[in-house]
Amino acid sequence: MTGTPADPVRELLDSNRDLCEQAVDPLEIAAALEDSGLAVDGAARYRHADVFGLAEELYARVPRRPPTREPLPPAEPLRTLPLAALRTAAAHLLPLLPAATLGGLPGGALAVLLGAGAGAAVERRSGGEEARGGAADQDDWGPEQREPAPARGGVPWAALGQGAGTGLLLALLAAAAPGAARAAALGAATAGWAAAWLRRFGRRQGGAATLGEYRSRLRFALPLAVLAQLAALAGLGWAVAGDTPATGWAALLVLGTLPLLAAAVRDAGRPTAAAVAVLTAAAAAALLTLPAPAHWLGASPSGALSAAALGPALLLAGTAWPPSTGPGAYR
């Protein structure tokens, strides 16, 4: 003859061990037990007045043991890096094309337009974590059809401005030192690569224990990326335009690093600052290449260009570095 076992809860506990170990609250166990078909008379079988008492006993009897090796939030896959490089390179080569072939004012204007268009096209939108509610999206007969969230509207002014500034800078550089311009546009590929790597690296460090540890891991990421970009630019310059004068080299290095810094600032949540810096550099460069100031300064066009872009680039670097060590820049 089989009577009721001495400890009926034990069986329930064994069959629901995972649930009990991972529950954060007795009520969570109660909800799960009710979902599995346990009602008031079921609780009575375990000598409890209601499901809540039973759930509390289960919660108290099982030590908390969360799932081991919970996965971290996924980072972007590796293959996005070459894609990002291609996108950035395309966005820089496109405005260079009319500037190099047509030249002069029409070429420059076309470069600005194309740059703005390309900048807006490759702009990347990111969002934070979106909360999900309970099981509210279901009616009695089945899942309710939900319309997908439409793309966010609005004109991407910051991306347009940054693209236009980039186009103008490239057009000016193409007029001053064609070889350096080609190298700078090609170097944008490595800038895109470096920015995507930085983003990915930052995301992958989410497993750090504390924010302090996170910062210490990220502290030298941006400077390293900038150094790598400079080295890549030097290599490209040597390969594509070996006979460029020193001022052309300076312009190449400054303009080639600018996309990386602007991308870092944009990721940190300040796209307007990035656009303003690039536009300022472009405007100053355009001003300095006008005949009167150029004659007055007596500098070569590419020298004026690098001098005009250096200030905004340094400012961008200063703006990008502190937030790039925090996790907020990689959402």
Partner 1 sequence: MRIALLTEGTLTNAQRGEGGWCGRLVGGLPEHEFRLYRLLPAGRPAPPSGVRGLHGVHELPMWGRRPGGRGPTALRRRAYTKAYEELVRALVTPGERAGFGPALYRLAALGREDEALPAFLASGHAHRALERVWRMPGADTAGGQPLVCDVLVAADLLEQCLRPLSAPWYGTGPAGLGGADLCHVVGGGPAALPALVARELHGVPFVVTEHGLHLREQYRGYRSAPYRWPVRALLLSFFRQLTEETYRQAAVLTPGSEYDRQWQQRCGGEAARTRIVHEGTAATERPAAGAEPGAPTLVWAGALEPGRDPELMLHAFARVRAELPAARLKVYGEEGAPGYLAHCTAIAGRLGVADAVEFAGRPRSSAAAWESGSVVVFSALAQRSPRLLADAMLSGRAVVSTEVGVAREVLGPTGLLVPPRSPRALAAACLALLTDHERRSRLGLAGRLRAQERFAVEPVVGAFREIYLDLVSRYPAFPARPGAPARPFARPAEYWVSGGSTPPPAPAGQAPRTPGPALAEAL
Min dist CB 315 to partner 1, Å, is 21
Tell me which residues in 41-60 interact with partner 1 (CB under 8 A): 41, 50, 52
In whole angstroms, the minimum distance from the beta carbon of 7 to partner 1 comes to 22
**Nearest approach, Cβ of residue 317 and partner 1 (Å):** 20
Q: Contact 89/185 with Cβ under 8 angstroms?
A: yes
Q: Does 31 bind partner 1 (CB under 8 A)?
A: yes
Residue 24 binds partner 1 (CB under 8 A)? yes
Q: Are 149 and 220 in contact (CB under 8 A)?
A: no
Identified binder of partner 1 from the candidate list 60, 213, 235, 314, rule CB under 8 A: 213
Paired sense of beta strands 142-143 and 138-139, if any: antiparallel
Please return the burial class of 31, using the count of CB atoms within 10 Å of its CB with bins 0-12, 13-18 and 19+.
middle
User: Residue 91 in contact with residue 163, Cβ under 8 Å?
Assistant: yes
- DSSP lists the bridge partners of residue 139 as 142
**Residue range at the interface with partner 1 (CB under 8 A); choices 82-90, 128-136, 229-237, 313-321:** 128-136
Number of helices and strands in the chain (H, E): 15, 2
Closest contact distance (angstroms) between CB of 313 and partner 1 is 25
- Which of 15, 36, 101, 216 lies at the binding interface for partner 1 (CB under 8 A)? 36
* Nearest to partner 1 of 28, 113 (CB atom): 28
- What string of DSSP letters covers 293-311? HHHHH---HHHHHHHHHHH
Distance, CA of 256 to CA of 251 (rounded, Å): 8
Part in contact with partner 1 (CB under 8 A); list of ranges 143-151, 156-164, 224-232, 282-290: 143-151
**What are the start-end ranges of the E strands in the chain?**
138-139, 142-143
What's the closest the beta carbon of residue 36 comes to partner 1, in angstroms?
6
- The interface region with partner 1, picked from 64-72, 159-167, 169-177, 237-245 by CB under 8 A, is 64-72
What length does the chain have? 331
What spatial distance separates the first Cα and last Cα of the chain, rounded to whole Å?
A: 63
If one asks whether residue 155 binds partner 1 (CB under 8 A), the answer comes out as no
CB 199 to partner 1: min, Å: 15
Strand boundaries in 201-314, DSSP class E: none
Among 28, 113, 123, 283, binds partner 1 (CB under 8 A): 28
* Interaction between residue 5 and partner 1 (CB under 8 A): no
* Residue from 148, 206, 191 nearest 331 by CA: 206
SS3 54: helix
Among 5, 14, 132, 155, binds partner 1 (CB under 8 A): 132
Nearest to 175 by CA among 283, 249, 236, 103: 103
The distance of Cα 174 from the centroid of its chain, to the nearest Å, equals: 30
Contacts with partner 1, 168-187, as mask; x by CB under 8 A: --------------------
4 is a site residue for partner 1 (CB under 8 A): no
Residues near partner 1 (CB under 8 A): 22, 24-25, 27-28, 30-32, 34-39, 41, 50, 52, 64-67, 70, 72-73, 127-144, 147, 149-150, 152, 205-211, 213-214, 326-328, 331
